[in-house]
Amino acid sequence: MDNQQSIEQEKRPYVKAELKRMIFHKEEEAFSIASVKVLETTENLKMEELIVKGHFTPLEEGETYIFHGYFEHHKKFGEQYVVEEYRRLLPETKDGLIAYLSSELFDGVGKKTAERIVETLGENAVPRILSDKQVLDQVPKMSAKIKDKLYYSLTEHQGFERVMVELTKHGLGLKTIQKIYGAFGDKTLDILEEDPYQFVFTVEGFGFHRADELARHRNLTHDHPTRIRAGCLYTLHQNLQAGHIYLPLETCLLEMEQLLHHPGESPLTYEQLSGEVIHLGEEKYVYIEEDRIYLPTLYFAENGFVTQVERILSGEMEVDFTQAELLKVIGSIEEEETMSYGKEQFEAIETALKKKMMVITGGPGTGKTTVIKGLLHAYSKLEDCSLDPKDYTKDVPFPFVLAAPTGRAAKRMNESTGLPASTIHRLLGWDGHQTFEKDSTNQIEGKILIIDEFSMVDMWLSNQLFRAIPSDMQVVVVGDEDQLPSVGPGQVLADLIASDVIPLIQLIEVYRQKEGSKIIHLAHAIKNDTCTLDMLKKEQDFNFIHAPDSRLNEVVTNIVAKAHEKSIDMKDIQVLAPMYRSETGIHEINRSLQNRVNPGSKNKREIEWKGNIFRKGDKVIQLVNQPEEGVFNGDIGEVAAIFRAEENIDHVEQVVVEFDTKEVTYSKKELSNIMLAYCTSIHKSQGSEFSIVVLPVTYQYNRMLKKNLLYTAVTRAKQSLILCGDPQAFIKGIRTKDTNQRYTYLQEKLKKETDFTYDEDEEDEALSPYDFM
């Protein structure tokens, strides 16, 4: 079939175009942007020149291509065509084919040689050569060297298109195909036929089940060695999502056996499974320590973090102030702030000032924020350094570095201290992919680093952060170990605390409870396992509204609607739930609340995308990181405007969302990056606080009702907490501990590898007035 026939028979929309120039190509991601001249198209396109972008290799100027994809509007560069599949068109005439083969693309092939090739092999010469290199032996007066060079060049220029055509039949996207071809080149199709499990080892994102499906069509046996190895990697990746750093060997083998078993086939033996795991270890696809099996990234992250902690602890630390000077400074701060520090709070400030690294932990109302603020002021006075960033230059950087895992937590740090605070990702200069500007060779500048909400920080990010901390910087880690652990693998805060290698001050005394806060009282009752049904009685800042499952959504909606009618800002009231899908799940509650507090009308604009409706005034949450726009996963904003295609120069429908400090514009296809946020998940709320929290509780959430989850939800409320649903379900939940143990060896490694072990008894015996409080 010639090119023109194949184009005419295309059922999918296409753009036939000639490459004018390559604009951009990023080798490591195989991502390209090019300018093309449109020759023919079935797309709704009027422009003669078009920008195409996608995961493809650099194209050749003057060559003609067929592109399949879709249009996307770029905020800065306008209309662009996103390529999902493409192929190069070969010349359609005999003379054109001769000109093609004798072009500078094929070194050593002149016009006469090209004529002989076409005369001998016909106008299908190129596909014939690619299918069987030996056909070139039929061409007279052609040296072996020229044959090899021509075949290699044709494979290089046409090989990817052949691979792409074959792999797209199996549902693979262009980005994944690029990764596969980049790893295996012209051997890709051979590997596809002989052993598709090879793709699992080399290509990030190529899953075991996809390889298994390809292998079944090619009759590979269920006990094929690479199938067993791929099953091991899949098992480790699946458990990574459950928060595990490693898997015990026996656990890993058991899960592999369950994954790899084929009905009707004999079970795989222990020797078969363990033998292939050992092979993976020898090839460094996994790392094996005693009976622990790690993926490489987590092996290096765990060991790397231990190394960085040891380095920081062993750095020189000079305390150039006396106890009397410290007491004087604390006293002056108390006078300025018209408050008094408790004994634990004073010890926390003192320890942070005297030690290279420390951990401060405590529940709500114990004064963690008060300690952070007091520490900053005490450091400023003792070191005679200003708290105003304007007093510093590039040569003399601001000494105070404040960071938190989320934007909202960083904003709270800024509001409570008056000092700049950023997310950890922004502090490290994350590019949105896998690169951080700050690392062991380009470290953070400053003298003291305070990291809040550290329970949310996973093993990967902890290692990356600590690599970037200079040895002469003091580090203060702050968090509540009873909250949910990080979404990513590990439980770094809990392991730091349990290791006993770092000074720890636990703030136990509750101050806000003395001011009559039922929320704080309830949180500590949950924390200490003393909460009972009697404690769920109505108070000034707390209420539990009984509601059957059939009316729970309605009750939640009425609570929020009444608050809205009283002119309470939707930013100040937040519904939290643990599950997305159920009659009382996040999606249903959001739909109900949207229809009640922001209903549709003729005068209110709205836009529909994949079954979801967004209206002007809707509360929404960002679902993915977009560092180029300055918004991150978990940021909450409000739909400020909706524009029709004819109302803007970009000629596409747009939604503008206003976040705290910026506006972000979304095209219609980008609306999958946000969702309604009248109700959000408890996990998404970590690091945030809200004036009013509404928390539905029902046995429908049964598998999610755990102590740490409910504790986290309760501690998000600052002024008012309203529980609704079934009190018995709540009590059952707070008495159910999360028994899903995370496999991590960080605690043991810190104890073993770090020479310094902190012992409170070794502290200076000098007494202070706080010892008598």
Cα(606)–Cα(669) distance, integer angstroms: 15
- How many angstroms from the chain centroid is the CA of residue 176? 19
Burial of 633 (0-12, 13-18, 19+ CB in 10 A): middle
Alpha-carbon Rg of the chain, whole angstroms? 31
Tokens of 668: 């219609």
Could you tell me how many helices (H) and strands (E) the chain has, helices first? 27, 26
Q: How far is CA 324 from the centre of its chain?
A: 47
Quick one: which H or E segment has residue 113? helix 111-121
Query: What is the CB neighbour count within 10 angstroms for residue 404?
Result: 27
CB atoms closer than 10 angstroms to residue 35: 14
Task: Kindly write down the DSSP assignment for every residue of 414-425, as one continuous string.
Answer: HHHHSS--EEHH
Gap between the Cα atoms of 34 and 51, Å rounded: 6
Residue in the block written with tokens 């501690």: 715
SS (HEC) of 683-721:
HHHCCCCEEEEEEEECHHHHHHCCHHHHHHHHCCEEEEE
Query: Cα-flanking dihedrals φ and ψ of residue 335, to 5°?
Result: -65, -45
- Confirm whether residue 366 is marked as ligand binding: yes
Total Cβ atoms within 10 A of residue 567: 6
Copy the structure tokens of residue 143.
């040296």
Separation CA 48–CA 29 (nearest Å) = 29
CB 143 within 8 A of CB 150: no
User: Was 417 annotated as part of a binding site?
Assistant: no
- 367 assigned binding-site residue: yes
Rounded distance, CA 587 to CA 395, Å? 51
Residue 706 and residue 738 in contact, taking contact as beta carbons nearer than 8 Å: yes
What is the per-residue DSSP string for 69-87? EEEEEETTTEEEEEEEEEE
Q: Look at residue 222 and give its three-state secondary structure.
A: coil
- Residue set of the binding site for ATP: 365-369
- Known binding residues are 365-369
